[in-house]
């Protein structure tokens, strides 16, 4: 796992807008051109309108013109002393916007790491093939 990627995620962790849950999450993407894009979770009083860190980073990358094939690695970290995995909504978005073989690193505050491929997060997820 790229330590610069973890450092970038941790640098923005306090920017999370978590006034309801106080559950900070940050994500950082490393792109093929070396750029790192970060994201944090942003809550809302209407809970269903919250946005997770993973989706914030991915939507930012897409807005900046990056495509699925540009993503090489993602790190997700929290202030928790246990590993936190992406929610179901994030897994579905990650399936669509990150290549299947890209490593997804989940890191707790004590530097414990769980790394899996994107495909391992959602092995039988809904895809464009299901729409045919």
* Residues annotated as part of the active site: 54
E runs forming strands in the chain? 25-31, 36-40, 71-78, 103-107, 113-117
Contact in structure between 12 and 38 (CB atoms under 8 Å): yes
| Stretch (H or E) spanning 1 | none
Return d(Cα 119, Cα 99) in angstroms, integer: 8
Return d(Cα 65, Cα 49) in angstroms, integer: 25
């Amino acid at each position: 796992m790229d330590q610069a990627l973890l450092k970038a995620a941790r640098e923005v962790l306090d920017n999370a807008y978590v006034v309801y849950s106080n559950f900070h999450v940050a994500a950082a993407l490393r792109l093929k051109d070396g750029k790192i894009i970060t994201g944090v979770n942003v809550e809302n009083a209407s809970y269903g309108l919250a946005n997770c860190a993973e989706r914030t980073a991915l939507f930012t990358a897409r807005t900046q013109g990056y495509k699925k094939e540009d993503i090489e690695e993602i790190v997700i970290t929290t202030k928790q002393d246990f590993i936190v995995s992406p929610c179901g909504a994030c897994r579905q978005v990650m399936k669509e916007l990150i290549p299947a073989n890209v490593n997804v690193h989940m890191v707790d505050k004590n530097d414990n790491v769980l790394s899996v491929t994107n495909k391992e997060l959602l092995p039988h997820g809904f895809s464009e093939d299901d729409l045919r």
